[in-house]
């Protein structure tokens, strides 16, 4: 018996053939497989699995797909040869392949502790980092190439990383170096094919070369698909994942990605079929398992359908959210059809997830996401307001943003750089409402102060492979302000001209030059000067503001209201767009209220609201002040804005319904009373009565009667409902 070998593996090895000499090496076996000689490769790995060396047995079992047994043999090999870096590197590569990046990374670092110049260990670290679009991948891989300039796989990885960053020239250069070093650098050839496909040129010559080496190398097609998906060309990506599994039906990584991207396009039945096939064959990475769980959860969702909209909501909140989401979607479609001079080819599917983890599954493996919403062509997935803390985000603004993507991706046939489509969507948020869209955050101000903004031609990198923690946020802001600048200087038509230019596969540099008449460098210079006039002073005084805010917070804590009012005005001037936690507006309003000055408190909070502040509790305070000051219409408008942030508030709907009803705004009253009823309040009777009352006032007597009867069914002696029923009967008789 081979000591330490898993029992199931030992049983399997009893049937292994002896067609290859026991002198077979892992390198020879890998070469056989790489060239598509699968029968010979299988026999080679069988021979390795019979060796006495635990390490060689591990390599053989790995090649045979017996991953658990291989893992045990690597563990045994490492325990017997603690000093050997190679064993740890290879074990780490197995774990990386089998979805355990944490332990893989530790093994690569342990290998470097034993051999600081081990290029393969640095390559392993680069592969782990690349999975998460971590910028460290570039550093680790550069170190691997420094130690071993002839490491073909490192050149191939560098080419892949460069193409992910839209650096086509460097991707081609690295791929060519790999091919010069090895005539069978298949992934390098795949990178060349991806470059051609992304440019809408034929990749056939590269696939011909790949097939000459290995006619079953599906990984090359999957590599092209990866880059298509990264560039939001989801349907094209699906087509290439199909080619990958046609070449190699057991390429489970490609089949899983096919399933995930079919989900992204709303093709759930085939997605399940592909993902279940992966799962049943032992390919159970996080994305596959979680996607299957998400598909299982769809039975709890309700879909509202018509010719232009498919709106999927969880049944526990569908009745509440449906009218609000549908209204924003319809308004966005009407606005964008007019602005972009186009119509969508079919209905838009909008999926709203109350569980943020479910939404996260929909976005797994995508770089640079704001983690609020994501668009896959004509499919939008986003967090529900209930999936976040109250006030954490403005769902209506997020949905408006994503609907811009739907139109721009369609208008360009998905040929548009990430910076432009994100920037235009951010710009459109503030065009729809001056209160929408994110304001300049402290992280953004620091980046502006420290001159960390990227040139426009490199701005995509800020989304895909950030170099510092806040760079994705900074890039969203910068891209949005670029679009603001273009519209303010050249007019909105130039933004549409840019859309059409990108659709023709022109580069950012070409579009800036041709549409705006400036070189990219000159555009950057003028844009940065414009931005500096707007927020430069705020950025320059950031440290002063931060110190003053701390002092203001201390004064507010001690209720030193005169000091709060004096200091608060200064803090607000230093950074007027700061509407986040512990802001000067809320401190000032509280001080004014405590001094009995409700009018100034309301004025401060109206400024807070205008600048994008959307804390529901703060906006409720503003509405209360507006009511007390005799402005019920303003109070109703303020409360209505909270619906764009957090509509999951029964008391909000009841009170807003009362305000609309009192002012004769019966459609608004009906919507709000219906929302309160959809939240299944403890007092269902009064909720049904108020809805019936609003319907009656609006002249919708059938619906009024339906709701008043439901109220009386729950409480037969409820006198207001009895009285309304009599009024309805009189109305029927024409009295």
Name the pairing type of β-strands 348-353 and 309-314.
parallel
Structure token pair of residue 458: 């490199």
DSSP state of 284: -
Query: Cα(202)–Cα(183) distance, rounded to whole angstroms?
Result: 21
Query: Cα(62)–Cα(216) distance, rounded to whole angstroms?
Result: 20
pLDDT value for 9:
46
Question: Which parts of 98-185 fold into alpha helices (H)?
Answer: 101-114, 119-131, 136-147, 152-164, 168-181
Angstrom CA distances, 556 to 246, 588, 589, stand at 67, 9, 11
Percent helix, strand and coil across the chain, each to the nearest 5:
70, 5, 25
The count of other CB atoms within 10 Å of the CB of residue 448 is 25
How does pLDDT run across 213-254, given as a tens digit for each residue?
999 999 999 999 999 999 999 999 999 999 999 999 999 999
Query: Cα(161)–Cα(178) distance, rounded to whole angstroms?
Result: 14
Q: With contact defined as beta carbons under 8 Å apart, do 478 and 565 qualify?
A: no
pLDDT value for 10:
43
**In the Cβ-directed half-sphere of 665, how many Cα atoms lie within 13 Å?**
16
pLDDT value for 638:
97
CA 476 to chain centre: 13
Residues of the chain with pLDDT under 70: 1-23, 365-371, 735
- Nearest 5°: the CA angle 567, 569, 573 is 115
pLDDT value for 366:
55
Q: Which of 255, 260, 324, 249 is nearest to 287 (CA)?
A: 260
Q: Which residues of 413-432 are buried (b: 16+ CB within 10 A; e: fewer)?
A: ebbbbbbbbbbbbbbbbbbb
Query: Cα(221)–Cα(240) distance, rounded to whole angstroms?
Result: 6
Query: Cα(608)–Cα(588) distance, rounded to whole angstroms?
Result: 11
pTM for this prediction:
0.91
Q: Which of 415, 512, 496 is nearest to 456 (CA)?
A: 512
pLDDT value for 19:
43
Residue appearing with tokens 């090999």: 77
Query: Cα(645)–Cα(656) distance, rounded to whole angstroms?
Result: 15
Structure token pair of residue 733: 């008789």
pLDDT value for 605:
98
Q: Give the sheet arrangement for strand 301-305, strand by strand.
A: 301-305, 309-314, 348-353, 379-383, 373-376
SS3 assignment for 203-272: CHHHHHHHHHHCCCCHHHHHHHHHHHHHCCCHHHHHHHHHHHHHHCCCCHHHHHHHHHHHHHCCCHHHHH
CA 25, 26, 31, 37 dihedral sign is positive
Structure token pair of residue 634: 């303003």
Judged by DSSP in three states, 97 sits in helix
Report the run of H or E that residue 375 belongs to, with start and end. Answer: strand 373-376
Supply the Cα-derived Rg of the chain in whole angstroms: 31
Report the run of H or E that residue 439 belongs to, with start and end. Answer: none
């Amino acid at each position: 018996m081979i000591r330490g070998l898993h029992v199931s593996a030992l049983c399997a090895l009893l049937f292994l053939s002896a067609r290859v000499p026991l002198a077979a090496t892992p390198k020879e076996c890998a070469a056989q497989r790489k060239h598509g000689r699968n029968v010979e490769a299988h026999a080679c790995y069988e021979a390795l699995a019979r060796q006495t060396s635990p390490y060689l047995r591990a390599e053989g079992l790995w090649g045979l797909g017996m991953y658990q047994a291989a893992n045990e043999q690597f563990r045994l090999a490492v325990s017997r040869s603690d000093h050997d870096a190679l064993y740890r590197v290879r074990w780490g590569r197995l774990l990386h392949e089998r979805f355990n990046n944490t332990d893989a990374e530790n093994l690569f670092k342990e290998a470097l502790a034993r051999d600081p110049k081990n290029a393969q260990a640095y390559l392993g670290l680069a592969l782990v980092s690349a999975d998460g679009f971590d910028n460290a991948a570039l550093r680790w891989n550069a170190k691997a190439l420094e130690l071993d300039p002839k490491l073909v796989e490192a050149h191939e990885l560098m080419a892949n990383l460069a193409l992910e960053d839209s650096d086509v020239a460097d991707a081609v250069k690295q791929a060519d170096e790999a091919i010069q070093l090895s005539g069978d650098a298949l992934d390098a050839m795949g990178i060349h094919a991806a470059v051609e496909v992304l440019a809408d040129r034929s990749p056939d010559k590269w696939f011909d070369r790949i097939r000459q080496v290995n006619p079953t190398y599906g990984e090359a097609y999957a590599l092209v698909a990866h880059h298509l998906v990264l560039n939001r060309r989801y349907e094209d990506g699906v087509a290439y994942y199909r080619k990958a599994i046609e070449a190699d039906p057991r390429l489970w990584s490609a089949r899983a990605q096919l399933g995930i991207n079919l989900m992204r396009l709303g093709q759930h039945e085939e997605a399940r079929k592909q993902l279940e096939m992966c799962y049943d064959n032992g390919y159970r990475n996080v994305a596959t398992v979680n996607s299957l769980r998400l598909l299982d959860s769809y039975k709890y969702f309700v879909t509202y359908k018509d010719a232009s909209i498919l709106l999927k909501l969880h049944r526990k909140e569908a009745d509440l959210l449906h009218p609000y989401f549908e209204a924003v979607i319809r308004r966005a479609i009407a606005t964008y059809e007019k602005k972009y001079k186009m119509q969508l080819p079919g209905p838009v599917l909008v999926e709203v997830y109350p569980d943020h983890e479910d939404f996260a599954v929909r976005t797994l493996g995508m770089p640079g996401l704001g983690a609020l919403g994501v668009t896959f062509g004509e499919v939008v997935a986003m967090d529900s307001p209930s999936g976040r803390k109250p006030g954490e985000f403005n769902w209506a603004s997020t949905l408006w943003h994503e609907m811009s993507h739907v139109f721009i991706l369609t208008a360009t046939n998905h040929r548009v750089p990430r910076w432009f489509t994100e920037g235009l969507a951010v710009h459109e948020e503030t065009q729809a409402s001056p209160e929408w869209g994110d304001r300049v955050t402290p992280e953004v101000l620091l980046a502006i102060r420290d001159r960390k903004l990227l040139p426009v031609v490199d701005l995509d990198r800020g989304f895909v492979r950030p170099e510092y923690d806040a760079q994705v946020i900074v890039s969203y802001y910068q891209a949005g302000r670029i679009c603001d600048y273009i519209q303010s200087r050249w007019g909105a038509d130039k933004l549409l001209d840019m859309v059409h230019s990108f659709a023709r596969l022109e580069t950012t540099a070409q579009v800036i030059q041709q549409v705006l008449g400036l070189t990219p460098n000159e555009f950057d210079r003028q844009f940065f000067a414009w931005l500096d006039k707007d927020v430069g002073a705020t950025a320059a005084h950031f440290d002063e503001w931060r110190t003053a805010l701390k002092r203001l917070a201390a004064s507010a804590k001690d209720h030193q209201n005169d000091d709060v009012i004096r200091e608060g005005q200064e803090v607000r001037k230093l950074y007027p767009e700061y509407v986040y936690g512990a802001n000067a507006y809320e401190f000032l309003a509280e001080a004014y209220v405590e001094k009995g000055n409700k009018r100034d408190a309301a004025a401060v909070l109206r400024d807070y609201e205008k600048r994008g502040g959307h804390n529901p509790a703060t906006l409720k305070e503003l509405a209360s002040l507006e009511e007390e000051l005799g402005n019920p219409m303003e109070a109703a408008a303020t409360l209505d804005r909270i619906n764009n942030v957090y509509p999951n508030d029964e008391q909000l709907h009841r009170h807003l319904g009362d305000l609309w009803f009192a002012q004769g705004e019966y459609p608004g009253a009906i919507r709000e009373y219906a929302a309160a009823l959809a939240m299944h309040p403890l007092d269902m009777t009064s909720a049904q009565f108020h809805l019936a009352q609003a319907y009656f006032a609006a002249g919708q007597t059938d619906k009024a009667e339906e709701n008043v009867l439901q109220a009386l069914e729950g409480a037969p002696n409820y006198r207001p409902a009895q009285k309304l029923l009599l009024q309805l009967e009189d109305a029927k008789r024409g009295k």
